[in-house]
Amino acid sequence: MRIRQTFEATLQRAWVHRGALACLLWPVALVYSGLVRLRRQLFRWKILNTRRVNAVVIVVGNVVAGGVGKTPTVISIVRHLQAQGKKVGVVSKGYGRQSKNCLEVLTNTLVSMGGDEPLLIQKATQVPVFVAPSRWEAATALLSRYPETEIIVCDDGLQHYGLYRDIEICVFDDRKCGNGWLLPAGPLRDHWPRPNVASSGAFAQDLLLINNSNKPVAGQFQAQRSLGDGLKDIRGNTIPWSQLQNWQDQPLKALAGIARPEVFFHMLRDCGLDLAQTLPLPDHVDVSPEALAAMQPCQLICTEKDAIKVWAHVPSALTTVLIQTLEPAFFEALNRQIAQASAPRLALDYGHQTSRSLGLPRHQRPFGI
């Protein structure tokens, strides 16, 4: 595990500039770039098929490798739609889970079966959540069990052209596009600016961009993140930050199995906590009982995603509650695109063919479609 962490940290540093290591990996990036282009073209030629479902599909993803805040964004969007009275479901691949079948993630689903992020989304929103290797399969299963669902939010999947999308949302953090090169020479999973794949509903001019960093970026909607009023225990009780420094006379230690654990530790320190030890872990890692035992005695603090796994071994652990606040202009833009995506479905129900069904981007459609 330590070798993997060192390797990932080295790559993260290399992806900031076009230095020696990035240049050394550049030929491999050219091969990867060619494969990405070929796969995209196969969808354009319809050699690889894109399939639709009977619901508006919103894909929330990123083009930069590693965590940028997709899951909190999914939760924010779902809660916004719930407040409007919409019937919402979520689909995901369920990265890191041991099972490979299609299943519904429930409150009592094991992390190893459903994945940590799908389980976190289900607990936070209480909407139907399905995972499967194919997002189309997950969406189809969700609609079969919950046919009243109007909108499906896909957690990750901008590059998964097998599921037709009506709306795309791309999330960035303070790394932006790094050195601008594709993997493994740079952090990009896909070319940027993003090319159109009309057959899959991917239109670059309609892409909504979210910026999770503290610095505003032109053309991107700003998101602010904080850790709320304190930490929560396994029963849901809140312990204010002011009480935590001398909590039960034990040293405070923190662990994080996310893409960028140092960001989490920095946020804890900004809340006034003096951390005696921090344990960065790979994203989606299954924390071992031995690693947890080695940190004792202490008051353990972890992320919401890690708490789902940690509480089985350390029920006294405390977790943060990440609060993401998106600017109102983002939700206004999202509402407009949802209305545009919903109008053609109503027309198709009456046998009319619309510009959306013909694959035209939104700016070329008649008003209201």
**DSSP per-residue string spanning 178-246:** TTSPBTTTSSBSS-SSPPPBGGGTB-GGG-EEEE-SSS--TTSEEEEEE-TTEEE-TT--EEEGGGTTT
Q: What is the DSSP letter of 313?
A: T
pLDDT of residue 349: 53
Q: What is the pLDDT of residues 235-250, one digit of tens each?
A: 999 999 989 877 778 9
Q: What is the pLDDT of residues 334-344, one digit of tens each?
A: 999 999 999 86
Does 29 score more than 90 pLDDT? yes
Where does residue 328 rank: exposed (0-12), middle (13-18), buried (19+ CB within 10 A)?
exposed
As a whole number of angstroms, the distance between CA 47 and CA 43 comes to 6
Task: Say which residue the tokens 């390797």 belong to.
Answer: 7
Residues 6+ apart with CB under 8 A from 79: 125
pLDDT of residue 344: 67
pLDDT of residue 245: 75
Does 358 score more than 90 pLDDT? no
pLDDT band at 347 (very low <50, low <70, confident <90, very high): low
pLDDT band at 1 (very low <50, low <70, confident <90, very high): low
Does 67 score more than 90 pLDDT? no
pLDDT of residue 348: 53
pLDDT of residue 247: 79
Which range of 31-35, 283-287, 365-369 scores highest in mean pLDDT? It is 31-35
Taking residues 163-177, what's their average pLDDT?
96
Taking residues 56-83, what's their average pLDDT?
95
For residues 339-363, b (16+ Cβ closer than 10 Å) or e, as one string? ebbbbbbebeeeeeebebeeeebbe
Closest by alpha carbon to 271, among 211, 231, 232? 231
As a whole number of angstroms, the distance between CA 48 and CA 53 comes to 17
pLDDT of residue 285: 87
pLDDT of residue 365: 47
As a whole number of angstroms, the distance between CA 291 and CA 51 comes to 44
pLDDT band at 136 (very low <50, low <70, confident <90, very high): very high
Does 39 score more than 70 pLDDT? yes
pLDDT band at 369 (very low <50, low <70, confident <90, very high): very low
pLDDT of residue 66: 82
Between residues 66 and 256, the one the model is more confident about = 256
Where does residue 289 rank: exposed (0-12), middle (13-18), buried (19+ CB within 10 A)?
exposed
Does 356 score more than 50 pLDDT? no
114-119 long-range contacts (CB < 8 A, ≥24 apart) are 115/284, 116/284, 116/305, 116/306, 116/308, 116/309, 117/71, 117/92, 117/155, 117/284, 117/305, 118/90, 118/92, 118/94, 118/155, 119/308
Taking residues 178-204, what's their average pLDDT?
96
Average pLDDT score, the chain: 91
Does 110 score more than 50 pLDDT? yes
Q: Is the pTM here over 0.85, yes or no?
A: yes
Taking residues 168-187, what's their average pLDDT?
96
Between residues 7 and 139, the one the model is more confident about = 139
Does 185 score more than 90 pLDDT? yes
Residues 6+ apart with CB under 8 A from 129: 89, 90, 91, 92, 104, 105, 114, 118, 119, 121, 122
